[in-house]
Amino acid sequence: MPLRHVVEVSQFDRAGVEDLFARADAMRGIERPSTRQSGKILATIFYEPSTRTRLSFESAMHRLGGAVISTENAREFSSAIKGETVEDTIRMASGYADAIVLRHHEQGAAARAAAVSTVPIINAGDGPGEHPTQALLDLYTIRHELGRIDDLTIVLIGDLKYGRTARSLALLTRLSTGTRLIFVNPPETPMGADIREALAEAGVPFSEEPRLDLALPRADVVYQTRVQKERFASESDFLSAKGTYILGRAAYELLRPSAIVMHPLPRVDEIATEVDADSRSAYFRQAHNGVYVRMALLDMLLGDRS
C-alpha cells in the first residue's frame, strides 16, 4: 500500500524499511539542487522546540528542489494562541502545502491531523507518543554503521517513559530478527506498558538492567536519551531521574570496540563531551543521516518524478 501519512512506525514493514533505506543511500549521491520535487511546497509546523528535525526536513526539501514554508514556536506564533484547534490549522495548511511536517505537544495530535488533512502529514513528534522519522533514521544509522539491522543487542538508556524516540525505536526493532533490547532507566522513567506489550506480542526479547556496568559490555548499540524535563509532572522526580546514567570515558572503557553510541540529541550532560572524538560515538553522524532519510521519505510521499 502506498504511504500516505507517516504517523507511527507500525505503518512500516520490513520491505518498506528496506526500500526507504535504499532510497536514502541513493540520496547521498544526488546532485544539488535536484529538481525531483521542484514546484512542491513543504510546510513545517512546530508547536514544540526543534533544531535537527525541522532543519533537516527543510534541508531535505531544498536539496530535492522544493520550497518550504514554516512556523516554529507555533504554540505562540500561530493562531493556536487565539484558540485555533490543530484540526483547523491543518485543514487550512493543507491548502497551502503539498505535505506537512507537524510537531505537537499532545500525544495523538499527528493522527488527528492526518484524519483531516488532504495532503501527507509527517509526525515529527507528538508529545510523549512517537517520533517515527527519528526511529527510521536511527535504524538507518545502525545499518550504515554496523552493516546490519538483525542480531543486535540494543541498550536503551535514560528516559524511556517520556522519550518518544526510544519508544519508536523499540517498536521498530520488531522488524528485525534476533534482536534483544536491554532497558537501563531510572525507576521514574520505565519503558511504557504499551511498548512492552507490543514487543512481547512480536516476540522481541527485552529485559531491565539498572546496572550500566553490566549492560554496556553486551551492547552492539547504546542508545542514550535526554531526561525529558518538560514532560515531568513533578520537579523532584525529574531531579532524581536526571544524572542517573552518564556516559563518559569510564563507561566507554566497558564498551566493545565494535559498539556504537547513539543519541537523538539534544544532549544535556548525559554524554560527556570527552568521548565525542571516540570513533564509537555515532551521534553526530546519526544526525546527518536524518537529511538523507527525510529526503527519501519526502520523495516517497510526494511522488518521484525523475
CB of 78 to ligand NCD, least distance (A): 19
103 is catalytic: yes
Locus of grid cell 509526525: 123
Residue 93 vs 265, nearer CB to ligand NCD: 265
Query: Helices in the chain by DSSP H: which ranges?
Result: 14-27, 52-63, 74-77, 86-93, 109-116, 132-146, 164-172, 193-202, 212-215, 235-241, 249-253, 283-302
Residue 186 vs 264, nearer CB to ligand NCD: 264
CB of 214 to ligand NCD, least distance (A): 25
Our finding on whether 129 is near ligand NCD (CB under 6 A) is: no
Our finding on whether 125 is near ligand NCD (CB under 6 A) is: yes
DSSP-derived secondary structure for 240-297: HHTTSS-BSHHHHHTS-TT-EEE--S--SSSB-GGGTTSTTB-HHHHHHHHHHHHHHH
Per DSSP, 182 falls in state E
231 is catalytic: no
Alpha-carbon gap, residue 4 to 75, rounded angstroms: 26
Our finding on whether 99 is near ligand NCD (CB under 6 A) is: no
Residue 53 vs 179, nearer CB to ligand NCD: 53
Alpha-carbon gap, residue 145 to 272, rounded angstroms: 21
Angle between the N-to-C axes of helices 132-146 and 14-27, in degrees from 0 to 180, rounded to the nearest 10: 70
Our finding on whether 167 is near ligand NCD (CB under 6 A) is: no
Locus of grid cell 526543534: 50
Query: How deeply is 55 buried, as exposed, middle or buried, from its count of CB atoms within 10 A (0-12, 13-18, 19+)?
Result: middle
144 is catalytic: no
288 is catalytic: no
Can you tell me which of 104, 143, 164, 242 binds ligand NCD, judged by CB under 6 A?
164
CB of 106 to ligand NCD, least distance (A): 14
Our finding on whether 189 is near ligand NCD (CB under 6 A) is: no
Do residues 128 and 12 lie in contact, with contact meaning Cβ atoms separated by under 8 Å?
Answer: no
CB of 290 to ligand NCD, least distance (A): 8
Our finding on whether 242 is near ligand NCD (CB under 6 A) is: no
Residues ≥6 apart with Cβ < 8 Å to 136: 9, 12, 17, 20, 172, 293, 297
Can you tell me which of 129, 132, 186, 264 binds ligand NCD, judged by CB under 6 A?
264
Residue 243 vs 303, nearer CB to ligand NCD: 243
Our finding on whether 20 is near ligand NCD (CB under 6 A) is: no
CB of 151 to ligand NCD, least distance (A): 26
189 is catalytic: no
Which positions are annotated as active-site residues?
52-53, 82, 103, 131
Q: Which residues bind ligand NCD (CB under 6 A)?
A: 52-53, 125, 131, 134, 164-165, 226, 264-265
